[in-house]
Structures are given as C-alpha cells and as structure tokens.
Structure 1
Amino acid sequence: MLKILGKIGLLVLALAAGTVWLVVLRLKNVPVPLLGTYGLLLIGLVAGLLWPGVLGRRVTRRRVLAFAGVPVGLGTLGLYLAVVYYVTDLPVLLTMAAAVGLAGAASALLRGRRRASGQAARQTRRAFLLGGAGLVLGVLSVLSGSRAERQRREVLARGEQERQAAVRAPGARRRIADGTVRVFPIHTGDTIVTYGQFYGGLDGWEGLNGYVRTLVDKAQIAVPVYAYLIDHPRHGLMLVDTGVNWEQAHDHDGYYDMTSRLLTERDEYRMSPGQDLRVHLARLGYDAKEITTVFLTHVHDDHAGGLRYVPQATVVLDRRDWEHGVLYPYSFDLVKDNLSFPAFDSGAFGAFPASQDHFGDGSLVLLPTPGHSPGHMCVLLRLDAGSVLFMGDTLYTLPHLATGQVRQMTIGGTDTIHQIEAARRIQRLLASDPRVVPLFAHDNTRYQFDLVNSAFTNGAPGEAGMRELRRHMRTVLTPDGRLRPGHTPRFVAPASGTGLGTVEFR
C-alpha cells in the first residue's frame, strides 16, 4: 500500500513539474499541437516508468526509456535551445554535463568493486570514459565562460555606438532654465502585450483566469512605455518612473538570468536607439547623472528598468511594493541602498484618505493607489498652469477612466477591489479640480500621441495646453465618467494573420 501511495505521490509531482514546464513553453509561444504531442510523451514516460506492466507484459523500464525517454529528452533539449537558451547558459550547461559525467564515473568505480573481474574491468573502462568526458566538459565550461562574456561586451558596445549616434543626430535642444516647472514625456520604447490583458478586464481577464488566457490568447498589440522628466526650479531634476532600459529590449536574454527568462518573453520590449532614456535626456539638454530623485509608481520592470542609469538618485516608492511586489533584482541592484519609503502621513487629499506631501510645500504629492501592485502610488505635481497626475498603471489609458466599460486585466479578489477604488478616487479628483490632467504610462490613444506630446513639447503646456487636454477629455468621457460614442476600443487582427494587431476606437 505504501509503495502504491509513493508512486502516486511521484506521479503527482511529475505531472505538476511537467505542467509548469508546458505553461512556460506556451508563454514562449510554442504551438499548441506541438505542446500537446510533447505533453502526451511526458505523461507516457512518467506512467511507463512507474507502472511499466500496464503497457504490456514484455514492457520494461529500459524499453520505456528507449521509446519514450529518448524522444522526451531530445524534445526537452530542443525546446529549451529554441526558446530559452542564451550563450551565457553555455558554461552552466557544460558544468552540469561535466558533473554528470564525473558522477557517472564515480558510480561505475563503486559498482566495479562489487562485481566479478570481467564485469569490474568493464565498469573500470566505463568510469575511465565518463571521467575523461567529464574533465573535457569541465575545461570547455571554463573556456566558454570567457567567450560568452566577450559576446556580451560586443553587444553592449554596438548599443553604445548606436546611442552616441542618436545623441548627435540633428534636432537636439538646449536646456531651458527660466524658473518654470517643466515636464517632458519620455517614450522609452514599447511593450508587447495581449489585447485582453490591456483591455479585457471586463471580459474575464481577471486573476488566475486572466493569466491562463494570456497563455492561450495570443492576440497581441504594442503599447508605449512612458517615463516623465520633471525639471523643478526648487527641487531639481526628477523622474516619475524610468521606463525600459536598452538591455531589456536589445539584450533581453543576457540581461535576465536563466530562471527569469523562463517567466518572460524574449521579444516583450522593443526600442529604437533614440528612445533610450539617456538619449532622450541628452537631447533635451540634460544628463542622467543630474537626476536627484525618482518617484517609482510601482516596481514592475517596465517602469524600473532605467534605474540602472541613475544610481545616484534617491528612489521613492511605497514600502509595500518593495517588500511584496513582483520585482527583478537586475533593475534595482544599483539603487537598493538609496530607497526612501513615504509614510503617507500628510492627511487626506481630496478623495484620498491618505497622502504624502513629499517636499512639504504642496508642490508634489504622493497618493496611494494599491491594486495593480501591493504598493502602487500616483504622483501629483503642481505646475504654473495647473497640475498633472502621473497615473502609473492604475489606469492604462484615458478610456480606462470609464471603469465600468473599459478595464485592464486585474489581479483579482481584494486587489481588484482596491484598484477600482483607487480609480474612482482618481475620477473624483479629476472631476473636482478642472486644473488637473492625467498623464499615463501606456496610453496608446490620440490623447497621448498627439495632445500630451504636443502640449509638453517644451515641458510647460501653459493655460492653453492644459485647456486643450481637458477639452479632449470631455470629448472622450461624459461628466459621469462614461465613454462617448467613437471611443470604445476594438482589436483589429493583423492582415497576414501573424504579427501584432492594432486597436481601433469606435
């Protein structure tokens, strides 16, 4: 009985591990038919090794390994090389193979001591071959390490050349220093997401179901990733979020380690040389080394990637996000000693029961908006002509302010409740103060591409620019926060049937 229970336990563990591996492969866009065939082979291998007699009296574990184990092993290696492997893995793989060879040699020697002389001689020869192979693989592992590092340096060197060329391209500006608070939108590239993840929160894209649907539904779109530069005459140069860094977009597999690569898509970001944060700053007349403060709306990597370029800055973020949010250490390893956590003890602010007057003069206020992440926050900045509210990912686009009609994928449960509560507080804040306009991190509508980018061309929109932004908001949303006709998003599939789709508003 215990033996049967033990086998059942092994079967459950094997199936769980296999399921995780299949989910990872689907995340990497491996076709479903191929995954189905591979999955059946995995099940057959596990079941055959545990209960070979079920497949027939003459079936042995050796035959199961030969007829199912070999194709599964080759298939696993092939899939790994196709969708996960990067050159920096080579030393690791060779080291693992060397360890297996040396372990096999040691095992053969031990078995040989307990066998007759003829069998002992065969085991000795086997140990000699396995040990020799292990040593050779170990040497290759050491040699491959330098080769992998050299290739990475070459990739980074090419990137540096492209960035310098982009900085020198015509059209760069001189810095304006006239005592005006200025805000510059910085488009740091695009991220590739499923349409449902971006717009399907009311169509079942929520919680676990939403994450499962991202594996199955590959109707994808490209959306922008924005950071914002603040040039403040009293408080210096600041950033709200930092966007994506160059390596995430152009050396994704080298930037992330093997485990992180399993959970991310190789082509999840794209960026032209001119969209690099450092290039943007240089062409506006600034230097990344001058940034004193970064206000991080949350710790997700498409908002924190550029932290690597501002290691001298103080990074302000909600402690809950640092302790419980989904973050990757590569973006934070240079600033982890420069973190500042607001207490949110400045009292109520409009519809928000808590806030943080960061500088103590009302010029910049932090507002907790949890839900998208445990400690998500928005940032309100006073300008001469009004105020701007940096939304982070509480709401993706202007149409998302109509929370009852357009919603992004949410985490589910209380997190969804908190996010909707935060969105409604933002709605009340915007309704109560006509001098506040929202600035989004991922808006893929005309509001961002035409109006925001135009109004903030020189960093200061003025009264006319702020009025135009509010006027456009009224053409998209009714006073009670509903979408007007012509502004409901709809996915448009690519003409070829493959590639990225687009979004129409009707």
Structure 2
Amino acid sequence: MVKILGKVGLLVPALLTGAAWLVILRLKNVPAPLLVVYGLLLAGSVIGLLWPRVLGRRSTRRRVLAFLGVPAGLGTLGLYLAVVYYVTDLPVLLALAAAGCLGWAAGALLRGRRRVSGPHARPTRRAFLLGGAGLVLGVFSGLSVSRVEGRRREMLAQREQQRQAAVRAPGGRRRVTDGVLRVFPIHTGDTIVTYGQFYGGLDGWEGLNGYVRTLVDKAQITVPVYAYLIDHPRHGLLLVDTGVNREQAHDHDGYYDMTSRLLSERDEYQMTPEQDLRVRLARLGYDADEVTTVFLTHVHDDHAGGLRHLPQATVVMDRRDWDHGVFYPHSFDLVKENLSFPAFDSGAFGAFPASQDHFGDGSIVLLPTPGHSPGHMCVLLRMDEGGVLFMGDTLYTLPHLAVDQVRQMTIGGADTVHQIEAARRIQSLLASDPGVVPLFAHDNTRYQSDRVLSAFAQGTPGKEGLRELRAHMETVLTPGWRLRPGHTPRFVPAASGARWGRVEFG
C-alpha cells in the first residue's frame, strides 16, 4: 500500500506539471492537435514508468523509455526551442548538456568498474566518449556567454540608432514656455490582449477562470497604450503612467525572466521607433530628464515600463500596489529609491471617501480606485477651463463607463466589488462636474483616436474642446450610464492575412 501511495504521489504532480506545460504551449500558439499527441506521449511515459504493465503484459520500463519517453523528451526539447528558447539560454543549455554527459560518463565508469573487478579495472570506452563530450560542451558554454552578450548589445545598439533617427526626423514641435498648462496624450505602442479580457467581464471572464481563458483563448485584438504628459506652470513636467519601453517590445525575452517568458507572449507589445517615450517627449520639445514626478496609476508593466527612462523622477503610487502588486520588478529597478506613497488624508472628495491633494493647492487630486490592482488610483488634474480625470485601468474605454453592460475581466471576489464601486464613484464625479473629461490608457474607440487626440493636439483643449468631448460622451452614453444604440462592442475575427481580430461597435 505504501508503494502504491508513493507512486500516486509521484503521478499527480507529474501530470499537473505536464498539464501546466501544455497550457503554456497553447499560449504560445502551438496547434491543438499537436498538443493532444504530445500530451498523450507525456502521460503515457509517466504512467508507463510507474506501472509498466498498464501498457501491455510484455511492457517494461526500458520499452516505455524507448517508445514513449524518448519521443516525449525530444518533443519537449523541440517545442521549447521552437516557442520559448531565447539566445541568452544558449550557455545554460550547453552547461546542462555538459552536466548530463559528465553524469552519464560517471555512471558508465562506475558500471565498468563493477564488471571488471581487481586491480586492472579500466573505465569503459563509453565513459571516455561521454566525458570528452561533456568537457567540450562545457568549454562551448563558457565561450558562448560573451558571444551571446555581444549579439544582444549589437541588437540594442541598432534599436538605439533607430530611436535617434526618429528624434531627428522632421516635423517635431518646439517647446512653448508661456506659462500655460498643457496636457499631451503619448501613444507608447500597443498591447495584444484577448477580446474577452478586454470586454468579457460580464461573460465569465473573472477570477481564475478568466485568467486561464486569457492563456488559451486566441480571439485577440490590439489596443493602444497611453501615457499622459502634463506641462504644469507651477509644478514642472509631470507624467501620468509611462507606458512600455523599447526592450519590452523588441527584446521581450531578454527583458523578462524565464517565468515571465513562459506566461506571456513574445509579441505582447508592439512599438515603432517613433512611439518610444523618449522620442515622443523629444518630438514635443521636452527631455525625459526634465520629468520631475510620475503619477503611477498602478504597477502593471504596460504602465510602468517607461520608468527605465526616468531614474531621476519621483514616482507617486499607492503603497498597497508596491507591497502586493509588483509582478515585474525590473521596470522599477532604477526608481525604487524614489518612491512616494500618498497617505490619502485630504478627506472625502465627492463620492470618494478618501483623497490626496498632492501639491496642496487642489491642482492634482489622487483618488483611490482599487480593484484592478490592490492600490490602483485615478488622477484628477484641475485646469482653469475644467478638469481631466486620468483613468488608468479602472475602466479601459469610454463604453466601459456603462459598467453594467460592458466590463473588462476582473480579479474576482472582493476585488471585483471594489472595482465596480470605483466605477460608480467615477460616474458620480463625472455627473456632478460637466467640466471634467475622462482620459483612458487603452481606449480603442473613436473617442480616443478622433476626439481626444484632436482636442489635445496642442496640449490646450480649452473650454470648447472639453465641451466637445463631453458632447461625444453623450452620444455614446445615456445620463443613466447606459450605452446608446450603435455602441455595443463585438469581436470580428482576423481577416485573411491578418494576425489579430478587431472590435466593431453596433
């Protein structure tokens, strides 16, 4: 009985590990029929090694290894090389191969000594060959380190040349220093998400179930990633969020560790040289070194990646996100000593029970909106002609303000409750002050692409620009925060030759 329980104890984690690996491969777009065959090989080899007779009366562990284990092992190596391997893995793979050969050689040597007893025992020929191969592979592993790093430096240098060329391209804007408050939307690239993750919160995309579906569902769309630059006459150059950086988009596997690589897609971010945060700032007449403060709505990496370019800035964020929400710390490496955590002790602000008047003059008010992350917050900027509410990921798009009809994936449980409560408070704030307009980080509708970009093209929308944005909101949403006809999103599969689908509204 103890032996059976021990084998079951080995079988269960082995099968769970195999299942997790299959999910990862599906995330990497490996065809489902191939995964079925490969999964059967994995399961058969594990079960066969534990209970050989299950696969036939004449079955032995050696036969299981030969007919199932070896194909499964080669399949694992092939799939890894095809969908996970990155050039910086080469030294590690060579070192593992060297260690395997040396271990095999040691085993062969011990077996040879057992078979030939006495003082004249000699190691077997196999041990010599395997040991030699192990030493050669070890040497190659050491030599490959510098070659790999050199190749990566060349690639990054090429990207830097492209960035510099984008900065120097004609058509840039000269900085205007007339003491007027300006706000500029900065498109820092696009991210690839599943349609359900973006719009399926009311269709079962919640909690663990929603996360699993993001791994296996291939109904994908591209959505923009926006940061916002504030040129404030009293408080200097400020940013709300920072978008993604060039390495995330073009050196994804080098930027993230193995775990992050396994659970994300290589092309999850798309960025042209012109969309680099430093290029966008330079084209507007500013320099990244001039940014004094970053208001980070939350810590997710598509909002924090640009921190790599702002090591001198003070980063204002909710402590709960720093303590419990950081998944990819590399983006914070250069600013982790410059963090500032608001106390949210400025009292209630409308429907919000707590707020933080950051500068003490009412110009920027931080509003806690937890749910999407533990310490998510929105940023309200007061202007002479009205106000701007930077939404972060509390709500993805303008139609998401109809939170009972359109909802993004939520974490589940209390976090979902908190996020919906935050949406209600935002609705209340917008309803109580018609001079405030929302600005989103990922809006893929005409509100962002047509109205917002037009109104803020020069950084100064004026009262008329804000009124036009509110007028557009009224064409999409009723006063009761319901969608008007013609504004319900639906997924359209990718056309022939296209990689991703699109969203239409009707």
The corresponding residue for 1:13 is 13
Deviation at 1:259, TM superposition (A): 2.3
Shift of 1:86: 0.8
Equivalent residue, structure 2, for 1:343: 343
Counterpart of 1:282 in structure 2 is 282
1:406 is paired with a residue of what secondary structure? coil
Greater shift, 128-137 or 84-93, is seen at: 128-137
Distance 1:322 1:118 in 2: 66
Does structure 2 conserve the Cα–Cα contact (< 8 Å) formed by 1:356 and 1:365? yes
The 3 A distance-change label for structure 1 pair 294 and 111 is same
Residue of structure 2 in register with 1:231 after alignment:
231
Query: 1:5-46 CA deviation, whole Å, 9 max, x = no partner?
Result: 000010001011111111111111111111111111110000
Q: Which amino acid aligns with 2:397?
A: T
Q: Does 1:485 align with 2:485?
A: yes
CA distance in 2, matches of 1:220, 1:395: 19
C-alpha contact (below 8 Å) 1:112/1:119 kept by paired residues: no
Q: What residue is the counterpart of 1:425 in the other structure? A: 425
Equivalent position SS for 1:388? strand
Name the aligned partner's letter for residue 193 of structure 1: V
Q: Which residue in the other structure is 2:125 paired with?
A: 125
Paired residue total: 506
- DSSP 3-state at the match of 1:7: helix
Asked if 1:52 is matched to 2:52, the reply is yes
- The answer for the alignment partner of 1:361 in structure 2 is 361
Structure 1 residue 106, shift from structure 2 partner: 3.1
Question: Residue deviations 1:95-114, cap 9 Å, x none?
Answer: 11122222333333444444
| Residue 70 of structure 1, CA deviation | 1.1
CA distance in 2, matches of 1:33, 1:120: 56
SS class of match (1:189): strand
SS of match in other structure, 1:147: helix
Match of 2:375 in 1: 375
| Cα distance change on mapping 1:289 and 1:62 into 2, 3 Å | same
C-alpha distance in 1, partners of 2:114/2:481? 81
One-letter amino acid matched to 1:182: R
Distance 2:48 2:404 in 1: 52
* CA gap 1:446/1:121 in 2 versus in 1, 3 angstroms: farther
For residue 95 of structure 1, what is the amino acid of its counterpart? A
SS of residue in 2 equivalent to 1:243: coil
Quick check: 2:102–2:134 contact (8 Å CA) kept in 1? Answer: yes
Residue 258 of structure 1: how far off its partner (Å): 2.2
Contact 2:113 2:122 (C-alpha < 8 Å) held by counterparts: no
Give the letter aligned to residue 96 of structure 1.
Answer: L
The answer on whether the counterparts of 1:238 and 1:293 sit within 8 Å (CA) in structure 2 is yes
Within 1, Cα distance between the matches of 2:322 and 2:118?
Answer: 63
Cα distance, 1:277 vs. partner? Answer: 0.4
Displacement of 1:498 in angstroms is 5.5
Q: Deviations over 1:323-364 (max 9, x none)?
A: 111421221111111111111111111110011111111111
C-alpha displacement of 1:185: 0.3
Moved more, 269-278 or 129-138: 129-138
1:327 maps onto 2:327 in alignment: yes
Distance 1:227 1:383 in 2: 18
Deviation, 1:411, is 1.0
1:396 counterpart letter in structure 2:
Y
The residue type equivalent to 1:166 in the other structure is A
Equivalent residue, structure 2, for 1:140: 140
Matches within 5 A, 1:11-50: 11-50=11-50
Residues 113, 120 of structure 1: 8 Å contact kept? no
**2:258 is equivalent to residue 258 of structure 1:** yes
2 CA distance for matches of 1:358 and 1:423?
Answer: 22
Residues 252 and 119 (structure 1), Cα distance of their counterparts in 2 relative to 1, 3 Å cut: farther
SS at match of 1:365: strand
Distance 1:420 1:342 in 2: 23
Q: Which residue of 1 aligns with 2:177?
A: 177
Say which is worse superposed, 411-420 or 105-114, in terms of deviation. Answer: 105-114
Q: TM-score of the superposition, structure 1-length normalised?
A: 0.97
Counterpart in the other structure of 1:436 = 436
Work out the CA distance in 2 between the residues paired with 1:102 and 1:346. Answer: 66
Amino acid at match of 2:390: F
Match of 2:388 in 1: 388
Cα-to-partner distance string for 1:81-133 (whole Å, 9 max, x where unaligned): 11110111001111111222223333334444444349996754333222222
Q: Partners in 1 of 2:502 and 2:241 — Cα distance?
A: 26
Unaligned 5+ residue runs, structure 2?
A: none
Counterpart-to-counterpart distance in 2, 1:295 and 1:131: 57
SS at match of 2:192: strand
Give the AA of the match of 2:44: G
Distance 2:207 2:194 in 1: 15
Q: Contact 1:89–1:258 (CA<8 Å) still a contact in 2?
A: no
**1:4 alignment partner in structure 2:** 4
- Displacement over 4 Å in runs of 4+: 118-123
Shift of 1:167: 1.0
- Change in CA separation of 1:369 and 1:117 when aligned onto 2, cut-off 3 Å: same
Of 484-493 and 128-137, more deviation after overlay is shown by 128-137
Partners of 1:167 and 1:282 within 8 A in 2: yes
Distance 1:59 1:347 in 2: 74
Supply the distance in 1 between the matched residues of 2:259 and 2:105 (Cα, whole angstroms). Answer: 29
CA-CA distance at 1:231 after TM superposition: 0.8
Contact residue 317 and residue 339 of structure 1 kept, 8 A: yes
How many percent of aligned residue pairs carry the same amino acid? 82
Cα distance change, pair 234–120 in 1 and its aligned pair in 2 (3 A): farther
Per-residue deviation, 1:314: 1.0
Taking the aligned partners of 1:405 and 1:103, their CA distance within structure 2 comes to 61
Equivalent in the alignment of 2:61 = 61
**C-alpha distance 289-46 of structure 1, shift in aligned 2 (>3 A):** same
Cα deviations across residues 224-275 of structure 1 (Å, max 9, x unaligned)? 0000111111111111110010111111112222222111101111111111
Q: Say if 2:201 and 2:408, in contact at 8 Å, map to a contact too.
A: yes
Amino acid across the alignment from 2:412: G
Q: 1:296 to 1:115 in 2, by over 3 A?
A: same
Deviation at 1:396, TM superposition (A): 0.2
- Residue 499 of structure 1 corresponds to 499
Deviations 1:262-304 (A, max 9, x none): 1110111111111110100001110111111111111111111
Deviation per CA, 1:420-455, whole angstroms, max 9, x where unpaired? 010111000100111111000000011101111111
Give the match for residue 302 of structure 2: 302
**SS in structure 2 opposite 1:267?**
coil
DSSP 3-state at the match of 1:5:
helix
TM-score by length of 2: 0.97
Amino acid of the structure 1 residue aligned with 2:160? E
